[in-house]
Amino acid sequence: MDIKTAIQTLPSLRLTVEAQGLLAKKSLGQNFLLDKNITDKIVRMSLSSQSLTSFSGAHVFEVGPGPGGLTRSVLEQEPDKITVIELDERCIKIMQDIKNKTGDVLEIINQDALIYDFAFAEKYAKHIVSNLPYNISVPLLTKWLYDIKKYSSLTLMFQKEVADRIMASPRTKDYGRISILAQLQCSITHLFDLNPESFTPAPKVWSSVLVFTPLSHALNIEEIKALEKLTSQTFSMRRKMIRQSLKNFSELDSVCREIGILPTMRPEELTPEQFLALAQKLYLK
């Protein structure tokens, strides 16, 4: 039996949830996506945005698979391997039921995704596709951005307000540290938004699906650490001129002139590229 046929023999997602008495846990940031039309759309649009026709030849990772809707949609796109990372024992049981039908292509890891090592070297192209637990979405994204050269893509669902911060432009209220790091590391594509009624239980906020494709000139770890120091120092005094937040650097005025910015600018006025240039001059001498 092939994978697609095996998936079709599984009970519906709603029947799976009912059979397991699977009520979402707020402590785990769970909101379940039970409409396979939507999970299929996420995977289909992700592949299309990358000019791919399937996940053949790839290793796909999913964090917090819940009842397995997105897992099923990924499996139907023929990855060489899919690894799911899940803390909830109830969901582990559901994943095992899927594995019993689909075989060793599915690997199940019962572990905290924040401590799992995603960045190990391997022969496959590496993709992450997840409806992220909202309470750890930014720490997880930051973890992956640090090692972005190890991945082919990240297809991730966030609360819409978090997605807006990630994609924010300079001189807007949402622009900040995560905007700068994400935009320096990746080309980011907004696929679509989802209303709260798409989920069980319905959250109080809309959600957004983004695809992150690593840039060829992604930063190395030293540059990232310097950038994080700089953005932490400046955005902790968001309304102050950088001359004030960076007053401990005696060379600031001359560095600003060199890279074409003014020390009277506020952090929200600097582009990601200007932040990088400033970080390189101040911290990577």
Taking residue 105's Cβ as centre, other Cβ atoms within 10 Å add up to 15
List Cβ neighbours of 256 (8 Å cut-off, separation of 6 or more).
242, 262, 263, 278
List Cβ neighbours of 43 (8 Å cut-off, separation of 6 or more).
70, 73, 74, 76, 77, 129, 155
Q: Which two tokens stand for residue 132?
A: 């992220």
Beta-strand relationship, 106-109 and 125-131:
unpaired
Query: Which residues share a beta bridge with 190?
Result: 210
Which pLDDT score, from 0 to 100, does residue 135 have? Answer: 87
At 285, the pLDDT band (50, 70, 90 cuts) reads: confident
Query: How far apart are the C-alpha atoms of 278 and 52, rounded to whole Å?
Result: 37
193, 102: one domain: yes
Query: How far apart are the C-alpha atoms of 136 and 187, rounded to whole Å?
Result: 22
Which pLDDT score, from 0 to 100, does residue 25 have? Answer: 53
Angle at alpha carbon of residue 194, lines to 189 and 196, rounded to 5°: 150
**Parent domain of 264:** 221-283
Look up the CATH number of the domain holding residue 195.
3.40.50.150
Which pLDDT score, from 0 to 100, does residue 23 have? Answer: 58
Look up the CATH number of the domain holding residue 265.
1.10.8.100
96, 81: one domain: yes
234, 181: one domain: no
Query: How far apart are the C-alpha atoms of 267 and 275, rounded to whole Å?
Result: 9
In this structure, are residues 58 and 79 in contact, taking their beta carbons and an 8 Å threshold?
A: yes
- Which of 194, 214, 234 delimits the end of a domain? 214
65, 205: one domain: yes
210, 237: one domain: no
Which pLDDT score, from 0 to 100, does residue 182 have? Answer: 98
201, 249: one domain: no
pLDDT(30) > 70: no
Q: How many domains does the chain have?
A: 2
Which pLDDT score, from 0 to 100, does residue 21 have? Answer: 64
Q: Which of 75, 90, 85 is nearest to 130 (CA)?
A: 85
117, 249: one domain: no
For 113-147, how does the pLDDT look when each residue is reduced to its tens digit (9 = 90+)?
999 999 999 999 999 999 998 889 999 999 999 99
Percent of the chain with pLDDT over 90: 80
Query: How far apart are the C-alpha atoms of 210 and 224, rounded to whole Å?
Result: 22
- Which of 169, 191, 214 delimits the end of a domain? 214
Which pLDDT score, from 0 to 100, does residue 201 have? Answer: 75
Query: Which residues share a beta bridge with 244?
Result: none
Which pLDDT score, from 0 to 100, does residue 26 have? Answer: 53
Query: Which residues share a beta bridge with 228?
Result: none
pLDDT(202) > 90: no
Looking at every residue in the chain, the average pLDDT score rounds to: 93
Which pLDDT score, from 0 to 100, does residue 156 have? Answer: 98
Name the helix (H) or strand (E) containing 101.
helix 89-102
For 72-127, how does the pLDDT look when each residue is reduced to its tens digit (9 = 90+)?
999 999 999 999 999 988 889 999 999 999 999 999 999 999 999 999 999 999 99
Which pLDDT score, from 0 to 100, does residue 204 have? Answer: 85
Which pLDDT score, from 0 to 100, does residue 181 have? Answer: 98
Per the model's pLDDT, the better-predicted residue between 12 and 200 turns out to be: 12
167, 230: one domain: no
For 247-262, how does the pLDDT look when each residue is reduced to its tens digit (9 = 90+)?
999 999 999 999 999 9
Q: Which two tokens stand for residue 152?
A: 């082919």
58, 43: one domain: yes
